[in-house]
């Protein structure tokens, strides 16, 4: 018993979270509200079989029209036309028992009016029942149903429309959530590559340098070991920053770190910076550009000299990294994921990347980012 109660509560919660079922409920309520009184009236008048068949055809057409997804805005006009014939013409045969079916025509016309945004059709829909009162023989009409039919049709239309809109909103929300997850996954992958990849490259170089210093008995080995431990701690902090989406980039600190790193592997480095107090998003993008540029110097070149310039002119900030010792050939298809990530970052700010190389082994990498997008 308790399990059945929990299952019922779970089902109720799922329905409340996605109330698209209201459309089906509205349609079912409208059909039930029309079918029962019509069938009872037909049975009393002795026309149950003929009236039941006619009512079945009418209900089938009505459900098809209400549930269809129209290619055109109006949908299948012919169904509405046939439904109008089946609403008024059988009155001459079945009499007052047939009056409630005006609710179905009201619902169909309101759906059509909603699709084509027509006020005239709304007026016609609400007049479907009252117009029956003008019949030449009052015995053919049930006045109460002639007035109540449009109300029932309007309720059906309201519930069906609400259900459809809720379904569309639910699908749109699901799509937005899916896109948000994809963007977050992309952010995580990009940051993992840009932050952690750079640290791992530096760690490999430090480990190689430390191995060589130990083999040579150089006294600098202890200092390099301490720097390697600090790099490991920085790597741990970077992983936490990526996992939690934190942003703690400091371009000035990264410039100093880049110079120290390059000089530790015997690359002369000159740094020139003339644009402090950059906006946070610009500073972050340029910090990643600096890391990527230094990583490429360490990975793809046997550099002896490197210069890093950070300049600003006419609200355009330019970071340039120039080094020698490029290993030929340097083909465009050799571009790694890091440059693709970086291009995505700077393009979001209205910036771009440039890379040129010369036959003498000089390579220049530049990132341009507007101070204000």
Question: 209-262 pLDDT, tens per residue?
Answer: 677 777 777 766 776 677 666 666 666 666 666 666 655 567 888 888 888 878
pLDDT at residue 115, rounded to an integer = 83
pLDDT of residue 246: 57
pTM: 0.51
Report, in this order, helix, strand and coil percent for the chain, each rounded to 5.
70, 10, 20
**Which DSSP state fits 325?**
-
Q: Name every residue whose Cβ is closer than 8 Å to that of residue 204 and which is 6 or more positions away in sequence.
A: none
**3 state DSSP class of 168:** helix
Which single residue is written with the structure tokens 């009056």? Answer: 99
Give the whole-angstrom CA distance, residue 127 versus residue 112. 15
CA atoms of 150 and 132, how far apart (whole Å): 12
pLDDT digits (tens, 9 = 90+) for 107-153: 889 988 888 888 898 999 899 889 888 888 888 888 898 898 888 88
Report the half-sphere exposure of 283 (CA within 13 A, side-chain side): 16
């Amino acid at each position: 018993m308790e399990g059945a109660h929990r299952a019922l509560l779970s089902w109720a919660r799922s329905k409340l979270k996605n109330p698209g079922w209201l459309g089906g409920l509205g349609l079912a309520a409208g059909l039930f509200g029309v079918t029962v009184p019509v069938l009872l009236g037909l049975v009393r008048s002795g026309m149950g079989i003929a009236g039941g068949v006619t009512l079945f055809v009418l209900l089938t057409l009505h459900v098809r029209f209400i549930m269809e997804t129209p290619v055109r805005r109006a949908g299948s006009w012919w169904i509405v036309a046939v439904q109008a014939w089946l609403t008024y013409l059988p009155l001459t045969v079945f009499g007052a028992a047939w009056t409630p079916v005006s609710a179905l025509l009201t619902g169909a016309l309101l759906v059509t009016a909603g699709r084509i945004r027509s006020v005239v059709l709304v007026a016609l829909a609400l007049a479907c029942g009252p117009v029956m009162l003008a019949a030449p023989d009052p015995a053919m009409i049930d006045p109460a149903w002639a007035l109540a039919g449009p109300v029932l049709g309007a309720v059906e239309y309201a519930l069906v429309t609400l259900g459809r809109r809720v379904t569309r909103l639910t699908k749109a929300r699901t799509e937005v959530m899916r896109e948000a997850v994809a963007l977050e996954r992309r952010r995580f992958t990009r940051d993992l590559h840009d932050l952690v990849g750079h640290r791992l490259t530096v760690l490999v170089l430090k480990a190689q340098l430390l191995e060589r210093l130990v083999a040579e008995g150089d006294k600098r080995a202890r200092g390099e070991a301490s720097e390697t431990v600090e790099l490991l701690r920085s790597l741990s902090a970077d992983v936490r920053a990526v996992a939690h989406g934190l942003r703690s980039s400091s371009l000035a600190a990264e410039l100093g770190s880049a110079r120290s790193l390059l000089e530790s592997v015997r690359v002369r480095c000159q740094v020139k910076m003339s644009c402090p107090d950059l906006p946070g998003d610009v500073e972050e993008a340029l910090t990643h550009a600096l890391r990527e540029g230094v990583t490429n110097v360490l990975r793809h070149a046997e550099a002896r000299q490197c210069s890093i310039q950070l300049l600003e002119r006419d609200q355009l900030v330019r970071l340039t990294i120039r080094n020698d010792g490029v290993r030929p050939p340097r083909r465009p298809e050799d571009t790694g994921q890091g440059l693709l990530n970086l291009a995505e970052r700077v393009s979001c700010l209205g910036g771009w990347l440039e890379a040129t190389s010369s036959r003498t082994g000089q390579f220049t990498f530049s990132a341009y980012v507007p101070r204000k997008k």
